[in-house]
Amino acid sequence: MQYQGIDRAILPVSDMAAACAPFERLGFVVSPERRPKGRGLRVRAVPIGGPDNLFEVHIIGGTDEGGPGWDAFAAVADKGLSTIVLRVADLQATLAALAKHGIAPTETQTVANADGSKRSELAVLPEMPDAGVRVRLIQHYQSGDEIFAEHTGGRQHATPLKRLDHLAAVAPDLERSCRFWDEVLGIPTVGEVVSPTVVVRQLRIGDAMFELLGPATPDSPIRQRPPGLNSMFSVEVPDLDATVAHVEAAGFTVADRRIGTLPGTIVATIPAAQTSGVNVQLLQYV
């Protein structure tokens, strides 16, 4: 199976304008609204990275007429990041490999452009508790340059953002989850970082990491956290001090400035209460 990257994380919200406003105030580019035909969805994207390593936070809301797309997310609106979408080179080949492990999509969708040409194909995978997160797969028929140009409109973030560094999910049975990602999904563990309370297993997907978090001790506070995707994305920035100054000048409070858990990093976080339920971690390698 050939995974090209983490394509997007999905943020379902009840009020699109209110959810997009903090990102716009930060100086992030937020794409124009799209309404995929027949899905009952409104979509705006926050693109991070470039054409070769593009990751997006897809802020989605429902339309007045409703539809199956929004129905899948309505119950988790305003509860943070919900789902990750992995970009694959050949969707049918990837689904055939998963079928050998008894995993079949619950739904497949073909998204077309206005001229009827194929834009992308999406597969919704069933609930997989051992994965620790909801997963969808996508194959694009547009180039990275075309997607990037469409979603940014040639604009750049006022806050410099280099790329997605990582997403993370809490996995109470860390060994079981790592085996599932390796043996079933075909994404092996490539690194481990151990702190006094948390074990971080790193899985490389394209240019970013997906991290599975497990307890390092019987009394680790991570045991109190619900399993599943953290409502957080960590983005690499070229200069943490300059980025924090820009963020604070925009009226945001930055918390948790510290040496990062990952070796050789410093981090600071814009708390979720200020950014539509998502912690935005700013990370610099030093």
Question: Which of 152, 177, 208 is the endpoint of a domain?
Answer: 152
Taking 70 as the threshold, does the pLDDT of residue 169 lie above it?
yes
Give 128-156 pLDDT, tens digit per residue: 999 999 999 999 999 999 999 989 988 99
Q: What is the mean pLDDT of residues 28-43?
A: 92
In this predicted structure, the answer to whether residue 228 has a pLDDT above a threshold of 70 is yes
Within this chain, do residues 210 and 181 fall inside the same structural domain, yes or no?
A: yes
Query: Is there a domain that residue 69 lies in?
Result: yes
Domain assignment present for residue 157? The answer is: no
Do 145 and 170 share a domain, yes or no? no
Q: Is 1's pLDDT higher than 70? A: no
Residue 114 scores a pLDDT above 80? no
What's the mean per-residue pLDDT of the chain? 94
Clarify whether residues 135 and 207 are in a common domain. no
DSSP states along 246-286: HHHHTT---EEEEE-SSTTEEEEEE-GGGTTT-EEEEEEE-
φ and ψ at 38, to 5 degrees?
75, 5
For residue 278, the one-letter residue type is: V
Does residue 199 register a pLDDT over 70?
Answer: yes
Residue 144 counted as domain residue: yes
Q: Is residue 158 part of a domain?
A: no
**Where does a domain end: 118, 152, 186?**
152
* pLDDT above 80: residue 113: no
Whether residue 106 is found in the same domain as residue 41: yes
Residue 200 lies in a domain: yes
Mean pLDDT of 27-54: 93
CATH number at residue 132: 3.10.180.10
Query: Which of residues 120, 152, 184 is at a domain's end?
Result: 152
Q: Label residue 2 exposed, middle or buried (CB < 10 Å: 0-12, 13-18, 19+).
A: exposed
Stronger pLDDT, 99 or 256, i.e. the higher one:
99
Query: In terms of domains, do 53 and 171 share one?
Result: no
Could you give the CA distance from residue 92 to residue 76 in angstroms, rounded to a whole number? 29
Q: What is the 3-state secondary structure (H, E, C) of 144-191?
A: HHHHHHHHHCCCCCCCCCCEEEEEEEECCCHHHHHHHHHHHCCCCEEE
